[in-house]
């Protein structure tokens, strides 16, 4: 476990899949991790991090940015429209564009500020009622809607159901992306990132396998 172990496993998976080295970016998911663990990974030279809550990201990243250059922050969790402005200021990428209302808000703010992070549309590949994301059947229409709003859609993101083979979901996501001419595929976490790389992931989101188990914020 740890950063170097994950990087070497990524290399191996890329080679096994016949993909070029570096084809997949590692997003180190630092949510709920103690700052000393995050700092240790920064000191090892890693610069791409993921957070799932705007509030938490706003609390810890400005200070890390004062001390380390070139940090790229990816917001991977559900985004409320009233936090969209703050999210756009903080993050270089948002992986959870999942509904028309949010797309419209992001488009309005992008026009107003003249800037927009890279965007990924979250697809609920398992069609789970409790999970965010656009349903697979609605994905083509939603991609078109986002493009009509001039949003910089780079790709798709999914979180497979915990009790199903993730490869089926990664393959479905890759298929929807290919049909829509999208290159980015944000898929794969600690337990399944090698399978995601085999199926074309461009961004994997790995937390506990780098930092260790998440420590609950209180007690």
Cβ proximity of 186 and 159 under 8 Å: no
User: If 0-12 CB within 10 Å is exposed, 13-18 middle and 19+ buried, where does residue 183 land?
Assistant: exposed
Residue closer to ligand PLP by CB (options 31, 108) is 31
Distance CA 164, CA 187 (A): 15
Question: Closest CB to ligand PLP among 110 and 157?
Answer: 157
Q: In degrees, to the nearest 5, what angle opens at C-alpha 41 toward C-alphas 200 and 6? A: 35
Site for ligand PLP in 84-143 (CB under 6 A): none
Examine residue 77 and tell whether it contacts ligand PLP (CB under 6 A). yes
Give the one residue of 29, 103, 174, 177 binding ligand PLP; rule: CB under 6 A. 29
Does position 208 interact with ligand PLP (CB under 6 A)? The reply is yes
Q: Which of residues 157-176 bind ligand PLP (CB under 6 A)?
A: 159
Other C-beta atoms closer than 10 Å to the C-beta of 215 total 11
Q: Which is nearer to ligand PLP, 66 or 98 (CB)?
A: 98
Query: Cβ 206 to ligand PLP, closest distance in Å?
Result: 5
Choosing from 189, 196, 198, 201, the residue that interacts with ligand PLP (CB under 6 A) is 189
Among 57, 76, 110, 153, binds ligand PLP (CB under 6 A): 76
Residue 184 binds ligand PLP (CB under 6 A): no
What lies within 8 Å, CB to CB, of 130 at 6+ separation is: none
Q: Tell which positions 30-59 bind ligand PLP, by CB under 6 A.
A: 31, 52
Buried b (16+ CB within 10 A) or exposed e, 28-64: bbbbbbeeeebeebbeeebebbbbbbbeebeebbeeb
Q: Which stretch binds ligand PLP (CB under 6 A): 11-19, 85-93, 127-135, 200-208?
A: 200-208
Nearest residue to ligand PLP on Cβ basis: 207
Full DSSP string of 10-46? HHHHHHHTTPPTT-SEEEEE-TT--HHHHHHHHHTT-
207 binds ligand PLP, rule: CB under 6 A: yes
How many Å is the Cα radius of gyration of the chain?
17
Task: Decide: is 19 part of the binding site for ligand PLP (CB under 6 A).
Answer: no
Binding residues vs ligand PLP (CB under 6 A): 29, 31, 52, 76-77, 159, 189-190, 205-209
């Amino acid at each position: 476990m740890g950063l170097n172990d994950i990087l070497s496993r990524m290399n191996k998976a890329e080679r096994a899949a016949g993909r070029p080295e570096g084809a997949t970016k590692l997003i180190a998911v630092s949510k709920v991790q103690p700052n000393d663990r995050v700092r240790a990974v920064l000191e090892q030279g890693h610069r791409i991090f993921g957070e799932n809550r705007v509030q938490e990201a706003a609390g810890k990243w400005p200070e890390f940015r004062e001390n380390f250059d070139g940090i790229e922050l990816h917001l991977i969790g559900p985004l409320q429209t009233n936090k969209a402005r703050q999210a756009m200021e903080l993050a270089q990428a948002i992986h959870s564009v999942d509904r028309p209302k949010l797309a419209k808000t992001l488009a309005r703010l992008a026009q107003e500020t003249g800037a927009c992070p890279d965007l990924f549309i979250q697809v609920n590949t398992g069609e789970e009622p409790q999970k965010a994301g656009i349903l697979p059947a609605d994905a083509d229409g939603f991609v078109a809607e986002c493009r009509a709003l001039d949003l910089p859609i780079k790709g798709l993101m999914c979180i497979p159901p915990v009790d199903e083979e993730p490869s089926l979901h990664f393959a479905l996501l890759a298929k929807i992306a290919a049909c829509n001419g999208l290159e980015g595929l944000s898929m794969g976490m600690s337990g399944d990132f090698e399978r995601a790389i085999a199926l074309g992931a461009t961004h994997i989101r790995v937390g506990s396998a780098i930092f260790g188990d998440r420590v609950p914020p209180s007690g």
